[in-house]
Amino acid sequence: MPAIDFDAERTYEDERFSAQEVFRTDRSKVVCGYFEPGQFIPVHAPASDVVISVRAGTGIIREDEKTHRVSPGDIVVIEAGTPRGIRADEAERLEVLFVTAPPPSDAEHEPVREGIQRGEFDPTGATTSGDGD
């Protein structure tokens, strides 16, 4: 069993969130995600289930039309094909653990790359409906 040292993987980047892949099989992928204040993963809808465990900081997770406020200890599970995105609050860093099954394809992450390049969290333009909780 591989042991994941979340602190040892910690890396922040100025331009975009940092994703440190720590485990992968054909069936699943585990990533440590590190966000500077305001950084995000744009809303996209890969064909993967995802479990997001918040380890530090605060932010929002979009799940389809819902917006969930998250803080340390929160876990959000989103089904495959559901639009999702995550954004760190402007005041602090955000650290999360992502588990996806199966791992999303490179093509499914193209909207993520495009959204980051444009600085656009929600390229769909959908509105959110409260905190979703």
Residue with tokens 């406020």: 69
**Per-residue model confidence (pLDDT) at position 123:** 78
Predicted pLDDT of residue 67: 95
- Model pLDDT, residue 58: 98
- HSE, CB side, 13 Å, CA atoms: give it for residue 68: 18
pLDDT tens for 93-112 read 999 999 999 999 989 989 99
| Ordered domains of the chain (ranges, CATH) | 25-118 (2.60.120.10)
Contact indicator for 29, 103 with CB cutoff of 8 Å: yes
Q: List, for the chain, all residue ranges whose pLDDT scores fall below the cut of 50.
A: 127-133
CB atoms under 10 Å from CB of 54, counted, come to 22
